[in-house]
Structure 1
Amino acid sequence: MRLGGRLAGAIEVLADIEARRRPVADALKDWGLSHRFAGSGDRSAIGNVVYDALRMKLSHAWLMDDDRPEALAFAVLLRQWGMTPEALATELEGDRFAPALPDAALAALASRSLDTAPAHVQGDIPAWIQPAFEAAFGEDWVREAQALAGRTALDLRANRLKAPREKVIAALEETGARPAAIAHDGIRIAPGEGASRLPNVMAELTFAKGWFEVQDEGSQIVSELIDPQDGHQILDYCAGGGGKTLALSAIMRNKGQIHAFDADRKRLAPIIERLKRAGTRNVQVHDRAQQLKSLEGACDIVLVDAPCTGTGTWRRRPDTKWRLTERSLDERLAQQRDALTNAARHVRPGGTLVYITCSILPAENADQTRAFVEANPDFTLQPALPVYQRLFAGAPEPWSGESGGLTLTPATTGTDGFFFSLMTRKPA
């Protein structure tokens, strides 16, 4: 397919997402199934246009004075892919599948400056959530929001149970893999530009051998901040697919004991195969809360990787940015409170409760931990920054608030957005 056909395909997908309010991955999959003639390169390019358009949807629409899918798709090529209107017109000339250039939108783009747009448009976030960004980041909130609208790298975690990071990087040399900036086992493959696509690392033999896992560097960093010791007994209360469970097991060198639990069995199911591939031997998997009865008051560390809005992952899932509502935020807040309350009973006296989200909203983060310790006076908030500074000396530092928690962001640590907080239970 030429550029015109790819552009037309992206417009079709964007229109489907807008009309049916559906996840971008589903819309792209359905488009591919109904257009089997499109090659893998075509599908990848179309996906890049769609994702880029959604990442900067508000600013594209404002500058083009047009929020239709056609305007958004053309804005991607002009603003993010570095094409000029003249070069674009030449590229599309004679392509019978190419959509018409939107002359009025192009004129608006030439005459407008984003500096005069409303602040939430500059940051490409919904207007109703601007106060939360201001509360989280003060005067830097627009810069932080804009960083959440960029493309993201492909991050891997070398599995030290199978292979050191240097060996994994050597095996993935053709992908451009490099050591991550902060996480000790992290590996980064830089995001491509324009229509380029990231490598399918899961097709690598080394992946099948368990040498590495796909995991954002931010997720790796917060796993290391838990600072587990070889003999610890740990409960990963919201284990999901097991990313942090696997990271903790590797840090502990297969010693001690990790209990992985999630109330959602469907989310938990992939962990079994992942544990086998990784060579993990110190993990027990639980899919029923009653199976945790014997762990009450017995765990050195209890990790609550709480369900959240996922605002820290907007670079990877930009469609969720525009589907987020105050109602869905309230639902997540209630789930977080329940998870903290239920998980806390498994912390031994003198033990640690760890609270993590992939959100950057204060309501889901510092507000939750403050409310929890106020309601549970046997728990005390602890500063997490000293732990970060000890483990990652000299690395770029995340945001640190009065509650003692840390917030990682694309703008500060070059990772997805994550919140990390430590709470200790008073000794008996």
Structure 2
Amino acid sequence: MSKKNNEFRNEDAVLDIKDQPSFGHWLVLSVQHLFTMFGATVLVPLLVGINPSIALFASGVGTLVYILCTKAQIPAYLGSSFAFIATMQALMKNYGYPAVGQGAIAAGAVYLLVSLIVSRFGSNWVDKVLPPVVVGPIIIVIGLSLASTAANDAMMNGNVYDLKYFGVAIFTLAITIIFNMFLKGFPSMIPVLLGIVSGYLMALVVGIVDLSGVQAAKWFSLPAFNVMGVNYDFKWYPAAIVGMAPIALVTMTEHMGHVMVLNKLTKRNFFKEPGLHRTLLGDGLSSVIAGFVGGPPTTSYGENIGVLAMTKVHSVWVLGGAAIFAIIFSFVGKVAAVIQSVPSPVIGGISFLLFGMIAANGLRILIDNKIDFELKRNLVIASVILVVGIGGTYLQLGNFQLTSIALATLFGIILNLVLPEKALSER
């Protein structure tokens, strides 16, 4: 690690946050992130009934806004949020898209409000509320809570176990590990992209790639924007505001969890610089913009954080490039259709590695901070967080749902604040 131009530089990174790759490398590294986030970003609108091209456009614009708000200091990609799916489906069924759009704007507004509060009163409370004994297990949960998604993508053809799917997933995983371990130079920076391409080719060979969407897609097509005042008249939807705004408080815990992971990866403290208020501002504005143009609310993506962890390429230029490509491809029907045709076992095989990388970084936090699990306090906090989070426990109150990650985080915070440093038997 060194100082360069009076700025901290993480020498463990292949490309640090401010490092600008050559044009050719920039293109390939950005496309790698595009492939990584594409499946999840378009899956949300497909489940809700929104045009996927809108979500792709909104994610690209939202990411650029986030980078601007955080002074180009945080390498993060924002895509469609899964936390709002159930509520959005209900709103689409009962009211149509205008209600979903209003709900997305309301969720973003909550972020903006909290950003103002943090800006006024500071974020010093973060270190007290979220010490390493809480942060480490939460990051492990963020990675491992996605494990079942990776497994289902790898094994299941619809609702049926498919050995061919599993074979493609294992091949994708194995070839990606080989690329990651044995390639040198620039190819060593793009093992995920090479793994996805190799897995896609194998999927073509075994006949599980559906190219009908590629054939039907047009080369150029405008995203089907749903803009307030243009495509529909303004109307209040209280159910949308009440249903989606509180969920923003839940996704904020995941937002902070992702910032913690990035802190660890980049050896920085983004809660202090550029500040939690700026990360919340960027995330909130992204969701507000998405709601106005017709997309679902957005959030930072663990998949892309996994790519950062594996490749050690932390350049914000690369994430910005992925955002630009997302915007461009939202207008190019053929390209978007090709990426959308990547079958689930390829994504599942890659996810085995990416999600595990996130969890492993949580384990590193516990090791690096020498958390003593001989102390009952530490053992209790970590145990509850891990089981509640990984087990998928959630709290359902009407249309409001506290997800497993949020609930695990809440339990961890409460236990950390109320439990004494030592149990009576240890004094």
TM-score interval for Structure 1 and Structure 2 normalised by the shorter chain: under 0.3
Greater helix content: 2
Greater strand content: 1
Query: Which entry has the higher C-alpha Rg, 1 or 2?
Result: 1
Higher relative contact order (CA 8 A, sep 6+): 2
